[in-house]
Amino acid sequence: MSETINASTVRSKTSRMSSDKLAEIEQLLARRREGFSLEAPFYTDTQLFQFDTEAIFGQHWLFAASIAELPEPGDYVTVDYGPYSLIVLHNDDGGINVLHNVCRHRGARIMNQSSGTTGNLVCGYHSWTYSPEGELIYASIPGEMDFNKQCFALRRAHSRVVAGLIFVCLAEEPPEDFDHVSQIFEPYVAPHELTKTKVAYQQDLIEGANWKLVMENNRECYHCDGHPELLCSYFPTYGLTEDLVPPHLEEAWERSIQAEDVLRQRCQRYGLPYEEIEELDTRVVGIRIARDALDGEGESFSVDGRRLSKKLLGDLPDFRLGRCSMHLQPNSWFHFLSDHAITFAVFPIGVDRTLVRTTWLVADDAVEGVDYDLQQLTHTWEQTNTQDQELVELAQRGISSPVYEQGPYMRSEYQVEAFINWYIQRAREYMP
Amino acid sequence: MSETINASTVRSKTSRMSSDKLAEIEQLLARRREGFSLEAPFYTDTQLFQFDTEAIFGQHWLFAASIAELPEPGDYVTVDYGPYSLIVLHNDDGGINVLHNVCRHRGARIMNQSSGTTGNLVCGYHSWTYSPEGELIYASIPGEMDFNKQCFALRRAHSRVVAGLIFVCLAEEPPEDFDHVSQIFEPYVAPHELTKTKVAYQQDLIEGANWKLVMENNRECYHCDGHPELLCSYFPTYGLTEDLVPPHLEEAWERSIQAEDVLRQRCQRYGLPYEEIEELDTRVVGIRIARDALDGEGESFSVDGRRLSKKLLGDLPDFRLGRCSMHLQPNSWFHFLSDHAITFAVFPIGVDRTLVRTTWLVADDAVEGVDYDLQQLTHTWEQTNTQDQELVELAQRGISSPVYEQGPYMRSEYQVEAFINWYIQRAREYMP
Amino acid sequence: MSETINASTVRSKTSRMSSDKLAEIEQLLARRREGFSLEAPFYTDTQLFQFDTEAIFGQHWLFAASIAELPEPGDYVTVDYGPYSLIVLHNDDGGINVLHNVCRHRGARIMNQSSGTTGNLVCGYHSWTYSPEGELIYASIPGEMDFNKQCFALRRAHSRVVAGLIFVCLAEEPPEDFDHVSQIFEPYVAPHELTKTKVAYQQDLIEGANWKLVMENNRECYHCDGHPELLCSYFPTYGLTEDLVPPHLEEAWERSIQAEDVLRQRCQRYGLPYEEIEELDTRVVGIRIARDALDGEGESFSVDGRRLSKKLLGDLPDFRLGRCSMHLQPNSWFHFLSDHAITFAVFPIGVDRTLVRTTWLVADDAVEGVDYDLQQLTHTWEQTNTQDQELVELAQRGISSPVYEQGPYMRSEYQVEAFINWYIQRAREYMP
């Protein structure tokens, strides 16, 4: 784990919103009804969206990209969280610098591509040039005598890289428990050696829904009948407990119990962590991580559960390792398998528009067409994402009706409620 | 006439708007200048549009569809009035149920198509299933013990079906005079037997103008020089009184007087109501209905006034019955002819966007290509609608200029003024 | 110079904005930091955009078009400044009338085309007909007794025509120093005889940036490395002073000094004004005008500096006259050359959308394909405009980030600062 501490971060906890609006939001937060979905303004009010960009995206650790998206020194990606734009740059020391994508001269966006390779960072407007650390090193200013370039470095954000996953934080003082949480998940993720993977495919979906609806949708499988491809590898009893299994699923239940037993023993044999850890709303960096068996061959997200890439990730000893799934608040989830990994990052665009970026990673020596078929590799989650897009857009449209009222969460939706609990706590903490 | 009384309607007369904004609107209403068009904010201000959705569309009887659009049990259409979405459903008893299109679980829109056929109503998100009456009858909730499905029925709206026309009301207590008004117009419309018609064609036009400009445009023929197709069947003296007829129209005036005489006698012979009834701004359910002669053959909206469908509607005894035209506040107008009928419904979308839905109905046993030519049937009003769209968009654009000021209504625009009178009265009544 | 004084202009200095918002803007104006770019709300806040349309576009002299765009009596163009729409009409006396494009009946936009030829002005809605002076001369109103047409003339705006350039002012009392300023620039522009030119080409670019970013971009050549085509005719030392010339540009410096000498002598010989006059922020009608030599042949904006049209404008005696460039606050700039002229007009559309209209004028007897090649004529500035569009859009995007802060202007950007000075002064003066 590499760490970057930045002296010149920007955001303080002072809201740019009017005190009237903050008071209105405080009332909405105060009358939150436990066990029920949020009131409509949380999903439809543009000022509440601005609040979210401040209180959630401006204050917390956010997943940005995996190292496979910028493998070489000089590689960069740009990511936008609402109105914020960041350059995530692989520096010459192998570390990651995160810089606000705003020139200090007249405010132009510096890097206008979603990814690329660069040496210094040159603004396209007047060629102000910054080092990869963000220092202003060149500005063609004939005769400008009293100009102190040191005062005009790019604004930086905090960043951490854990097991090949890059996280950023825009707050001046990031939440402290990230270290603890990264110690939780690093042993699960590290064996998949994401630093030795490459991007097989990346899908950007712009969904017509508030970012919280996108997250809520990810946090339950109560709607998974709408995901026939995914249900090939998930057990049909997924989410049930023994007392709830209906007669026609008893056989599947037995099959899943056996598969979990075998997987647990296999993990113990290989020294791979297995147990579920769940702290979704009990800490500032909310997390859930667990390893679950898959149906069929139990190797990957395919129709029959068989591997989708012939190359194992890292030094993993076996293809039959199910899925190691991680969920982080507020904007990401992940599936780490033996043959590939998938990262999901959520970037809010507007009150009812959200970018969901899905990235498929395979071993860096896997050859497309030989070791894996790209269409097969991505099929299950491309379909699942498109189905989810339709579902969250139905939710956004329905909630926009004046007659919408808060509905009850079911037991199988407890992780949705945990997300909402986490959100409400963070929002309350942000209040002055 | 069938009637549905619903216990669980939703809207009360409590505004969701801020008291500041309501006070601002109250001032605008107070300084309304009689005989003149409204001030610009009524057409351009987004919060005034929200006010309209509450005070007008949330409180009054609205035309939704004709029974021909959902002829069989299980057939439904969805209609949206601003932010409200409704399912209008033909139930098994032959009646109409109107349900808010919002799932009680997590708020998803339930029916996402504009029309179709269904048994129970199944939400696409988590398969919550409602009866055609809106009762929650199924929710796949393993082990959910203390969940009382009776508390989660769909919200319903009031509805009435009169002579095959379906009206809805979102208010908790709908305006009382609908019964009276339906008794006024039923004798005019019933002989056309819309229950024995079918939809020949439906046109949806999205017009770039406030819904009130669309209505105002419908309420005068002062602009009808812009409708050459329509003027083939309307007399060129339409809207004039005897003292105003210019010399070059004296012949046409004589022709129209004669035609009206003949039509009156014919109606009396057949027992068809004929007289004009006009209460556009003197009651809550504003109405105008009358039977007028048409030029030429006097049968239909064709170039020479001849029939456009060979099948008479219902048991009508004659093709030469002119047009029976009905105008209702706030969102509809109709033409009932011997050979076909046309309904016009106005659905506001945003402050400067409005859906106008025009539906051509013919006898249910009329065969396209044999009894009627679809292009000829729809030609006059398709052209007229497109011309009107251009006109109201010119009005919206001009009114958006800061120099726009209220202009005077002419005598021939008295129905526009009646619409505005009605609107101002309803808006004032809504004020707390 | 023709002048039109209008009795019935509209705008007073009373803002339509709330006093709260005006107070907020007043604070922003008060804490303006000299030598630095403006704070973000000036570029991103929709209410500040509304303020600009009132305080700047509603109060000051604006360039609208050149006479070549409406050469004959009856010709007109429509121009929109934010929400204002104007008809600029060539009247029968050879003068220019400027009328608000809003019918006095029900507010419809009257002329919906960007240009054309007309006699009287007939509203497309109800055929209300206005004379070219704006008087209501016809309204088909049968029996309308007490209707005084004189009360319903079109609203007019002030206008001036100077050396073939048409300026308009929406204010009731236009700034007084326009007469003085027009006396400054008329001797420079008049010899190019724009009244004897024709439009060779007009380009409308809609740029995704606030109108002030478009103006600022025009007011410096610090970014001109991004304009390779333009740099063929501009000297590479453009904007430098002698003490700042780097060694590798000494030769170019010498070349430019020589060219300026030759041009000065030539202008003196021909009696053409030459000296730079610069009052960009020292008067209400801010101006800069000067004649500068061009590189290469020194005739026009071509790769080698040679003429782009074979016909001289007016009675100019020589092709080698460099460029006479004029910059006016708040919305225009111009290049007058011996063989063609280019006008640039900026029309704000929304807070982050601006129309830039560029018009190439050649001698009215120049024949396309014979005297000039249209593609060559327009190449340099079509490319330059497109490059500028990209640059200002980068600025708009970057400034939208919450971390944007005001950046320092360089010495070569003093005209940008002058524009901002001018803007801040005008905005402060508008405050109640």
Q: Which of A410, A412, A413 to mutate to test the interface with B (most CBs of B within 10 A)?
A: A410
Q: For residues B104 and B152, what is the distance between their CA atoms, to the nearest angstrom?
A: 6
pLDDT, one tens digit per residue, over A144-194 is 666 788 899 999 999 999 999 999 999 999 999 999 999 999 999 999 999
The last residue of a domain, from among B125, B160, B195: B160
User: Whose CA is closest to B295, among B336, B245, B260?
Assistant: B260
Residue B283 buriedness (CB in 10 A; 0-12 / 13-18 / 19+): middle
- Whether residues C292 and C368 share a domain: the answer is yes
User: Whose CA is closest to C169, among C4, C343, C349?
Assistant: C4
For residue C415, give both structure tokens. Answer: 């005209």
- The answer to whether the Cβ–Cβ distance between B143 and A243 falls below 8 Å is yes
Let me know if residue A72 belongs to a domain.
Answer: yes
Residues of chain A with C-beta less than 8 angstroms from the C-beta of C42 = none
- The answer to whether the Cβ–Cβ distance between C100 and B412 falls below 8 Å is no
pLDDT, one tens digit per residue, over A112-132 is 999 999 999 999 999 999 999
Predicted confidence (pLDDT) at residue A141 exceeds the cutoff of 90: no
pLDDT, one tens digit per residue, over B51-83 is 999 999 999 999 999 999 999 999 999 999 999
Return all residues near B364 (Cβ < 8 A) that are at least 6 apart: B68, B196, B197, B198
Among A4-13, A85-94, B242-251, the range with the most confident prediction by mean pLDDT is: A85-94
Let me know if residue B396 belongs to a domain.
Answer: yes
- Residues B312, B338 contacting (CB under 8 angstroms): yes
Print burial letters for C14-36: b (CB count within 10 Å at least 16), e (below 16). Answer: ebebeeeebebbeebbeebeeee
- Could you give phi then psi for residue A253, rounded to 5 degrees? -60, -50
- CA distance, residue A43 to nearest chain C CA (Å): 22
Residue B376 CB neighbours (<10 A): 14
Q: For residues A413 and C77, what is the distance between their CA atoms, to the nearest angstrom?
A: 62
- Residues A300, A339 contacting (CB under 8 angstroms): yes
Residues of chain A with C-beta less than 8 angstroms from the C-beta of B87 = none
CATH number (domain holding residue A325): 3.90.380.10
User: Whose CA is closest to A43, among A212, A262, A181, A265?
Assistant: A212
For residue C285, give both structure tokens. Answer: 């009608």
Q: What is the mean pLDDT of each run of 10 residues along chain C (432 residues)?
A: 37 73 95 96 97 97 98 98 98 96 97 96 96 92 72 97 98 96 98 98 98 97 91 85 84 94 96 96 97 95 96 96 98 98 98 98 98 98 98 98 95 94 97 88
Predicted confidence (pLDDT) at residue A5 exceeds the cutoff of 80: no
- Whether residues C389 and C286 share a domain: the answer is yes
Q: For residues C174 and A343, what is the distance between their CA atoms, to the nearest angstrom?
A: 61
* Torsion angle defined by CA atoms of residues B310, B316, B320 and B324, in that order, rounded to the nearest 10 degrees: -110
Predicted confidence (pLDDT) at residue A7 exceeds the cutoff of 50: no
Q: For residues C338 and C322, what is the distance between their CA atoms, to the nearest angstrom?
A: 8
- Whether residues B202 and B319 share a domain: the answer is yes
Residue A398 buriedness (CB in 10 A; 0-12 / 13-18 / 19+): buried
Angle, CA B172 vertex, CA B326 and CA B116 arms, to 5°: 65
pLDDT band at A1 (very low <50, low <70, confident <90, very high): very low
Let me know if residue A92 belongs to a domain.
Answer: yes
- The answer to whether the Cβ–Cβ distance between C412 and A127 falls below 8 Å is no
Predicted confidence (pLDDT) at residue A411 exceeds the cutoff of 90: no
Predicted confidence (pLDDT) at residue A245 exceeds the cutoff of 90: no
Q: For residues B95 and A41, what is the distance between their CA atoms, to the nearest angstrom?
A: 36
- Whether residues C387 and C241 share a domain: the answer is yes
- CA distance, residue C216 to nearest chain B CA (Å): 27
Q: For residues B261 and C273, what is the distance between their CA atoms, to the nearest angstrom?
A: 82
Domain of residue C97 covers 62-160
- Residues A226, A387 contacting (CB under 8 angstroms): yes
pLDDT at residue number A257:
94
Let me know if residue B340 belongs to a domain.
Answer: yes
How remote is the C-alpha of A282 from its chain's centroid?
Answer: 19
Q: Which residues is C344 bridged to in the sheet?
A: C333, C358
Q: Which residue of B has its CA nearest to A411?
A: B144
pLDDT at residue number B144:
64
- CA distance, residue C147 to nearest chain B CA (Å): 9
- Residues A280, A422 contacting (CB under 8 angstroms): yes
Residues of chain C with C-beta less than 8 angstroms from the C-beta of A152 = 407-408
For residue A100, give both structure tokens. Answer: 């606000």
Let me know if residue C315 belongs to a domain.
Answer: yes
Q: For residues B349 and B207, what is the distance between their CA atoms, to the nearest angstrom?
A: 10
pLDDT at residue number C148:
85
User: Whose CA is closest to C147, among B408, A257, A214?
Assistant: B408
- Whether residues B183 and B154 share a domain: the answer is no
Question: In B103-196, at which residue ranges do the beta strands (DSSP E only) sit?
Answer: 115-117, 121-122, 129-130, 136-138, 158-162, 165-169
Q: For residues A259 and A53, what is the distance between their CA atoms, to the nearest angstrom?
A: 42
CATH number (domain holding residue C145): 2.102.10.10
pLDDT at residue number A145:
60
Question: In B208-339, at which residue ranges do the beta strands (DSSP E only) sit?
Answer: 277-279, 287-292, 323-328, 332-336
Q: How far is CA B362 from CA A197, B144, B188, B307, C70, in A?
A: 66, 51, 17, 12, 53
Let me know if residue A389 belongs to a domain.
Answer: yes
- Whether residues A113 and A185 share a domain: the answer is no
pLDDT at residue number C246:
83
pLDDT at residue number C7:
34
Return all residues near A146 (Cβ < 8 A) that are at least 6 apart: none
Task: Write the ipTM.
Answer: 0.92
The last residue of a domain, from among A160, A189, A208: A160
Q: How many helices (H) and strands (E) does chain C have?
A: 8, 18
Q: Which residues is B344 bridged to in the sheet?
A: B333, B358
Print burial letters for A155-181: b (CB count within 10 Å at least 16), e (below 16). Answer: bbbbbbbbbbbbbbbbbeebbebbeeb
- When pLDDT is averaged across residues A296-307 and rounded to a whole number, the result is 95
- The answer to whether the Cβ–Cβ distance between B243 and C143 falls below 8 Å is yes
Amino acid at B209: A
Predicted confidence (pLDDT) at residue B2 exceeds the cutoff of 80: no
- Whether residues A116 and A221 share a domain: the answer is no
- Whether residues A249 and A347 share a domain: the answer is yes
User: If you average pLDDT over every residue of chain B, what do you get?
Assistant: 93
User: If you average pLDDT over every residue of chain A, what do you get?
Assistant: 93
- The answer to whether the Cβ–Cβ distance between C37 and A103 falls below 8 Å is no
- Whether residues B240 and B387 share a domain: the answer is yes
pLDDT at residue number C37:
97
Q: For residues A353 and B219, what is the distance between their CA atoms, to the nearest angstrom?
A: 39
- Residues B358, B203 contacting (CB under 8 angstroms): yes
Residues of chain B with C-beta less than 8 angstroms from the C-beta of A408 = 105, 147, 152
Let me know if residue B415 belongs to a domain.
Answer: no
User: Whose CA is closest to B263, among B302, B293, B294?
Assistant: B293
pLDDT at residue number B105:
96
Predicted confidence (pLDDT) at residue B365 exceeds the cutoff of 80: yes
Number of compact structural domains in chain A: 2
Is pLDDT larger for residue B323 or for residue B1? B323
- Whether residues C212 and C93 share a domain: the answer is no
Is pLDDT larger for residue A9 or for residue A68? A68
- The answer to whether the Cβ–Cβ distance between B16 and A402 falls below 8 Å is yes
- When pLDDT is averaged across residues A94-107 and rounded to a whole number, the result is 97
Angle, CA B403 vertex, CA B398 and CA B409 arms, to 5°: 65
Q: Where are the alpha helices (DSSP H) in A84-210?
A: 178-189
Q: What is the DSSP letter of A226?
A: G
Let me know if residue B200 belongs to a domain.
Answer: yes
pLDDT at residue number C144:
64
Q: For residues B427 and B425, what is the distance between their CA atoms, to the nearest angstrom?
A: 5
Print burial letters for C125-134: b (CB count within 10 Å at least 16), e (below 16). Answer: bbebbbbbbb
Q: For residues A4 and A97, what is the distance between their CA atoms, to the nearest angstrom?
A: 8
Using beta carbons and an 8 Å cutoff, which residues of B are at the interface with A? 10-11, 16, 53-54, 58, 83-85, 100-110, 112, 124-127, 139-144, 147, 152, 155
Of B10, B105, B108, Cβ closest to residue A403: B10
- Whether residues C291 and C335 share a domain: the answer is yes
Least confident of A139-143, A284-288, A373-377, B246-250: A139-143
Print burial letters for B334-369: b (CB count within 10 Å at least 16), e (below 16). Answer: bbbbbbbbbbbbbbbbebbbbbbbbbbbbbbebeee
- Whether residues A387 and A253 share a domain: the answer is yes
